[in-house]
Amino acid sequence: MGDDAYPDDRRYSAEHGWVQLEGRVATIGVTDHAQQALGEIVYFAPPDHEQALAAGRSYGELESVKAVSDLVAPLDGVVVEVNDDIVGSPEQVNERPHDAWLVRVEVPNSAQYDQLLDAATYGASLR
């Protein structure tokens, strides 16, 4: 079992994103740590459908009452779905960060996913 705040069924990036991989589709969101650091989230600027993402590059923004934060792609891929529920109600990221996914991305292979942090390593990196 990983850190209680971070589910074991996904991987994490050093930029505080989480990724769940099912086949070739990666579901991406932000961690509880990220939403706490941002504070009350009021706006999600998503990428375009079919936009190519590059690992380590910005793919959108989350805006809170105190800051605007770039979302950093944890892996390469092409956006196949944007969570319109979060676009309309971005506060869901604060309420349930590990359920409130932002985008789904088709990835070319799982090698980058395998290099992301597991829950225990990510949790330990925050201490």
- Span 2-40, pLDDT tens digits: 445 799 999 999 999 999 999 999 999 999 999 999 999
Mean pLDDT to the nearest integer, 67-75: 96
**Rounded mean pLDDT of the chain?**
94
C-alpha to C-alpha distance for 13 and 6, rounded to whole angstroms: 12
User: Is the pLDDT reported for residue 121 higher than 50?
Assistant: yes
User: Is the pLDDT reported for residue 76 higher than 50?
Assistant: yes
Q: What is the pLDDT of residue 30?
A: 97
Single-letter residue type at 8:
D
User: Is the pLDDT reported for residue 77 higher than 70?
Assistant: yes
C-alpha to C-alpha distance for 84 and 52, rounded to whole angstroms: 19
Q: What is the pLDDT of residue 1?
A: 34
The neighbouring-strand residues paired with 45 are: 61
Q: How many other CB atoms sit within 10 Å of the CB of residue 24? A: 13
Set out the domains of the chain in order of their start, with CATH numbers.
11-125 (2.40.50.100)
Strands 52-53 and 77-82 come out as antiparallel
Q: What is the pLDDT of residue 4?
A: 58
Task: Calculate ∠ Cα 24-118-120, nearest 5°.
Answer: 160
User: Is the pLDDT reported for residue 119 higher than 60?
Assistant: yes
Mean pLDDT to the nearest integer, 84-103: 97
